[in-house]
Amino acid sequence: MSSTVATGFARRIPEGEDRERLVCNDCGFIAYENPKIVVGSVVGVDGQVLLCRRAIAPRRGFWTIPAGYMEMGETVEEGARREAREEACADLALDGVLAVYSIARLGQVQVLFRASLASPGFAAGAESLEVRLFAWEDIPWDDLAFPSVHWVLHAWREAGAGPLGAPRGNPAEDARGTRPLEGA
């Protein structure tokens, strides 16, 4: 972090607004802080699910679905397919939004797809230690990286192979995504 950048800003309520913003003391420039979008996919292959073991912080060594921050200039679908290429060297076919989760604690919205492999093959990308298929009963539940990985795997299981209903929201017991990691 940069003191060069940060010292010029203070939190105050700009004229005509109703909440605190980061405002430059010199010029009044407002640095809006916005929630960030994570895009990702539950990839099913013959009833098994593809998981990546994280090579990077946070939660290095733990298992997750291929997912990451959406970039400017792409769609949610393009972002989800890019993340699978980067993390699992996998070429996905998406068949719909499986879940939209809010992690209010982190200022994060997750748009997660149901997907299959568009062409065979996968491998660990630079951000993964390992990429594997797991049968449902072999999923390493105690070694999943994030609560939302639990949530979306169960949503995937419940959806079966049929048409997707409305995407799941957060589970009732963590409706605002405010629980810490241990609350998975």
Q: Is 27 in the site for a copy of itself (CB under 8 A)?
A: yes
120 vs 180 by CB, closer to a copy of itself: 180
**Dihedral over Cα of 155, 161, 167, 172: its sign:** negative
- Is residue 34 involved in binding a copy of itself (CB under 8 A)? yes
Note whether 4 binds a copy of itself by CB under 8 A.
Answer: yes
**Phi and psi torsions of 58, nearest 5°:** -80, 165
Per CB under 8 A, 15 contacts a copy of itself: no
The answer to whether residue 93 forms part of the interface with a copy of itself (CB under 8 A) is no
Strands 67-69 and 36-45: antiparallel
Say how far apart CA 69 and CA 37 lie, in whole Å. Answer: 6
Residue 28 φ then ψ, to 5°: 85, 5
Query: Measured from the CB atom, is 74 or 143 closer to a copy of itself?
Result: 74
Paired residues of 127 in beta bridges:
none
Is position 11 an interface residue for a copy of itself (rule: CB under 8 A)?
no
Taking CB under 8 A as the rule, does residue 10 contact a copy of itself? Answer: no
Q: Are 173 and 147 in contact (CB under 8 A)?
A: no
**Binding-site ranges for a copy of itself (CB under 8 A):** 1-5, 8, 19, 24, 26-29, 31, 33-37, 69-78, 96-97, 100, 102, 104, 107, 109, 111, 163-167, 169-170, 175-177
